[in-house]
């Protein structure tokens, strides 16, 4: 398959330099909004343009707690295994982030706990893994606008095996503090009042030590990816927002990865309109602790 043929939301790329492969994950259910949760599929390629798949990497077991809205899987290599962090929901339970484990990037991934790792009374989504300066794992995730109105990005330190929280979550910032997020949820029927979205946090440390957080919300031109810098150089912040998003043309839920040649790329889905979402890989320049994205053809290959 070509990149332009893959319908996917929330793309996440894992680069395997030893095998010379890329693994592409994301929200892949046919109806991710109101249909039954079917699982997650992945694609495998060597050049970011041609892919094999889809391969089923997670199918919910019979007794799985969630039955809908299987969203935004990330896969991280950690402690000799592959860990998937993904969002799930059930009709009678709040959305939460579940952590799963596998021996291979293609799974099968199985849950490592009985339910979500996020607080059960919270509406949470889009977890990503962060290791602090002492090597301790953290879950960085969104406390949703659907519950707060003004969505938040939160951090929660995990036990070393990622099976449970080691500390209570803390709020890092709210969407409205960014200076660029607008009161828009992207829905046809919106709730009254001002609701600010937080989606898709991802951490990137530059060569000079600067720690950036990518995250998505709605800007004046639609769905966008913003940047916030940790003034302390660690997850505790405080977080200083760039007033102009990194990407703001109706695409988002971004993450950064290195190509097999070491080049930095931003992965997003674009446009943010169902069913036209496609993965897009944009070159990113890192210079003097700053990040700049260059818009190119969404199907660009590594040349």
What domains can be seen in the chain, in order of their start residue?
3-293 (2.115.10.20)
Cα dist from 105 to 44, 53, 69, 129, whole Å: 10, 13, 22, 16
pLDDT for 91 beyond 70: yes
Instruction: Indicate the pTM of the whole model.
Output: 0.95
pLDDT of residue 199: 98
Q: Mind listing the pLDDT tens digit for each residue in 220-248?
A: 999 999 999 999 999 999 999 999 999 99
pLDDT tens digits for range 246-297: 999 999 999 999 999 999 999 999 999 999 999 999 999 999 999 999 876 5
Q: How far apart are CA 75 and CA 224, in angstroms?
A: 23
Q: What is the pLDDT of residue 294?
A: 81
Average pLDDT, the chain: 94
The two three-digit tokens of residue 39, written as one number: 């699982």
């Amino acid at each position: 398959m070509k990149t332009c043929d893959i319908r996917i939301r929330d793309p996440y790329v894992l680069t395997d330099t030893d095998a010379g492969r890329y693994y592409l994950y994301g929200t892949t259910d046919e109806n991710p909004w109101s249909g039954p949760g079917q699982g997650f599929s992945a694609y495998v390629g060597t050049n970011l343009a041609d892919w094999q798949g889809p391969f089923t990497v997670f199918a919910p077991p019979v007794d799985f707690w969630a039955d809908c809205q299987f969203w935004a899987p990330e896969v991280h290599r950690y402690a000799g295994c592959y860990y998937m962090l993904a969002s799930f929901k059930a009709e009678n339970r709040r959305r939460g982030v579940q952590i799963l484990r596998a021996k291979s990037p293609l799974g099968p991934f199985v849950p490592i706990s009985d339910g979500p790792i996020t607080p059960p009374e919270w509406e949470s989504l889009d977890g990503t893994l962060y290791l602090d300066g002492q090597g301790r794992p953290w879950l960085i995730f969104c406390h949703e606008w659907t519950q707060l109105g003004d969505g938040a990005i939160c951090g929660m330190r995990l036990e070393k095996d990622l099976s449970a929280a080691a500390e209570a979550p803390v709020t890092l910032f709210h969407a409205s503090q960014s200076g660029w997020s607008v009161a828009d949820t992207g829905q046809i029927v919106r709730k009254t009042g001002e609701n600010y979205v937080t989606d898709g946090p991802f951490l990137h440390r530059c060569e000079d030590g600067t720690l950036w957080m990518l995250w998505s919300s709605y800007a004046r031109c639609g769905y966008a990816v913003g940047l916030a810098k940790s003034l302390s150089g660690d997850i505790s912040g405080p977080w200083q927002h760039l007033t102009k998003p990194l990407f703001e043309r109706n695409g988002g839920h971004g993450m950064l990865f290195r190509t097999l040649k070491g080049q930095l790329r931003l992965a997003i889905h674009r446009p943010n309109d169902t069913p036209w979402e496609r993965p897009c890989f944009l070159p990113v320049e890192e210079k003097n602790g700053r990040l700049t994205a260059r818009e190119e053809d969404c199907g660009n290959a590594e040349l």
